[in-house]
Chains A and B, each alone.
Chain A
Amino acid sequence: AQTVTQSQPEMSVQEAETVTLSCTYDTSESDYYLFWYKQPPSRQMILVIRQEAYKQQNATENRFSVNFQKAAKSFSLKISDSQLGDAAMYFCAYRTGNQFYFGTGTSLTVIP
Chain B
Amino acid sequence: EPEVTQTPSHQVTQMGQEVILRCVPISNHLYFYWYRQILGQKVEFLVSFYNNEISEKSEIFDDQFSVERPDGSNFTLKIRSTKLEDSAMYFCASSEKRFYEQYFGPGTRLTVT
Please list the residues of chain A having a beta carbon within 8 angstroms of any beta carbon in chain B.
33, 35, 37, 42-47, 50, 91, 93, 95, 97-105
Contact = CB atoms under 8 A, between A and B. Distances in A.
Contact of A104 (B42, B50, B58, B107): B42
Given A33-B99, A35-B101, A100 B107 contact: no
A98 B33 contact: yes
Interface majority SS (helix, strand, loop, mixed), chain A: strand
B58 A99 contact: yes
Contacts of A93: 43
A37 B31 CA distance: 19
A91 to B, nearest CB: 6
B45 A43 contact: no
Contacts of B33: 98, 100
B13 interface: no
Contact of A98 (B43, B44, B56, B107): B56
B65 interface: no
